[in-house]
Amino acid sequence: MRALVMLAVGLGLGALLTVVAMNSLRRGTAYPNGVMAVMAAQMGHLDRGIKAGACTAEDLGGHLATLQALGNDLEPAFLPTADDAQFSRFAGDYRAAVGRALAEAPRDCGEAGARLNAISATCKACHQQFKG
Ligand code: HEC
């Protein structure tokens, strides 16, 4: 009887701890995954817009503003990493590229596309080292 009670308690505790662990795992990845998912969606909007010839500051500004705001969430979402100083350098490169794209209206779609590529290059640089 006593052994059965202990078994029941053990199973109950095990199930509870599994739920706790799964919830904390989900919480742990939802934030960084969310930041990346919205960044990717905004890059997609920009890419499709530029290819369709929508290349004025007004066309691009809303998406770039969202990308700029998301840039402030890189460290809060991902730290601690294996190398936080390096991560912050990549995050800074990303923020600088978005800042340059926002600073001046592009003269044409070629220039808008080049700025988008410059942002994309900073995504890739960080992924190369930190995305496993
Ligand atoms: C400073 C670092 C950094 C920058 C800048 C960055 N990312 Fe990421 N990104 C990461 C890391 C780290 C991961 C991996 C997350 C994981 O594995 O949990 C990731 C994952 C992703 C994923 C998920 C991919 C998959 O495997 O499912 C997408 C999509 C993504 N990033 C898009 C972007 C885009 C688009 C940009 C630029 C506009 C960008 N990221 C800029 C660090 C960065």
CA dist., res. 69 & res. 3, Å (int)? 57
Residue 90 CB less than 6 A away from ligand 1: yes
Quick: pLDDT tens for 10-31: 666 666 555 555 555 555 799 9
| Pick from 2-11, 43-52, 62-71, 82-91: least confident | 2-11
Mention every residue, 6+ apart, whose C-beta is less than 8 A from residue 120.
43
Mention every residue, 6+ apart, whose C-beta is less than 8 A from residue 71.
91, 94, 95, 98
CA dist., res. 13 & res. 58, Å (int)? 56
Residue 55 CB less than 6 A away from ligand 1: no
Q: Has domain 30-130 been given CATH number 1.20.120?
A: yes
Residue 130 CB less than 6 A away from ligand 1: yes
- pTM as predicted: 0.85
CA dist., res. 61 & res. 90, Å (int)? 23
